[in-house]
Amino acid sequence: MHGKLAGLALLALGTAQADAGLQWQMEGQLGGVFTSGNTQTTTVDAGLKLNLQYGQYLSEQQLQGLYKEENGVTSARRWQYDSRVERQLGEHNAVFFSSQLLRDDFAGFERQDSLLLGYRHSWVWGAHTLQLRPAAGYRISTLQDSADDEDEMIASVAMDYRWQFSKQASLENQFQSDWGQSNIHSTNTLAVQAQLVDRLSLKVSLLLDHNSEVEATRKNLDTTTSIHLVYQLR
């Protein structure tokens, strides 16, 4: 079952064809902290994002990873792959299929993998854009220190807001909450990005990751503050 879920997540990579009508955009981001002396710390936070559009089809693929080590002891190790494929129904509406693979060795859940089918509606006014994406689907979860998987149907809602307040700077907020019988998993990412030169930007972000049900020794809320350099290709 797990292999089928991972395979479905990767199918989105083949939705666009190499053709003159294909539009694409790729960006990579990298942040890190390295200290030595009395305290030796290594923190690496990186991501890669690819957007494809071919006619009425849109594909968005995103891979993110975080690793932290202090005095030889690993204190954070997380990676996440998100995929979404849309079929546009008009200027502001679309149906979509999305998948997520999440691994986190130090959060309440070791793994949370999901498949969703939903509807997207967008509002645009001036420099502001708002997207609402209700959906339903299936999730496989594994608690830390547990060998048992929890399979369940889930309901989901996502909301993305973007404010392009100047030609060189923007503010984004991305929220998603997935409701299941065993757990409610919610994330919110607030980010400000400013262009430094033609293709290079500086990005500061705050991630809130909340699970309603965790082991007694774990916290419900994890927060990550990051500063990245972002390089964009078109």
In our burial notation (b when 16+ CB lie closer than 10 A, e otherwise), range 47-63 reads bebbbbbbeeebbbbbb
pLDDT, position 38? 74
**Total structural domains within the chain:** 1
Asked if residue 20 is part of any domain, the answer here is: no
Is residue 39 in a domain? Answer: yes
Q: Which of 84-88, 153-157, 203-207, 216-220 has the lowest mean pLDDT?
A: 216-220
- The pLDDT > 90 percentage for the chain reads 61
**Residue 30's CATH number:** 2.40.160.40
Write phi, then psi, for 11 (nearest 5 degrees): -65, -25
**What are the distances in angstroms from CA 25 to CA 11, 58, 158?**
19, 12, 22
E strand or H helix at 152, and its extent? Answer: strand 149-163
**pLDDT over 50 at 18, yes or no:** no
Q: What range defines the domain where residue 29 resides? A: 2-14+25-233
pLDDT value for 166: 93
Residue 19 lies in a domain: no
The identity of residue 158, as a single letter, is: A
Predicted TM-score (pTM) of this structure: 0.82
Give how far the C-alpha of residue 82 lies from the chain's centroid of Cα atoms, to the nearest Å: 6
Residue 180 counted as domain residue: yes
Residue 150, helix vs strand vs coil: strand
34 pLDDT band (50/70/90 cuts)?
A: confident
> What tens digit of pLDDT does each residue of 119-169 get?
999 999 999 999 999 999 999 988 777 767 889 999 999 999 999 999 999
Q: Tell me: the pLDDT tens digits for 54-103?
A: 999 999 999 999 999 988 888 888 899 999 999 999 889 999 999 999 99
| CA proximity to 179, closest of 161, 153, 205 | 153
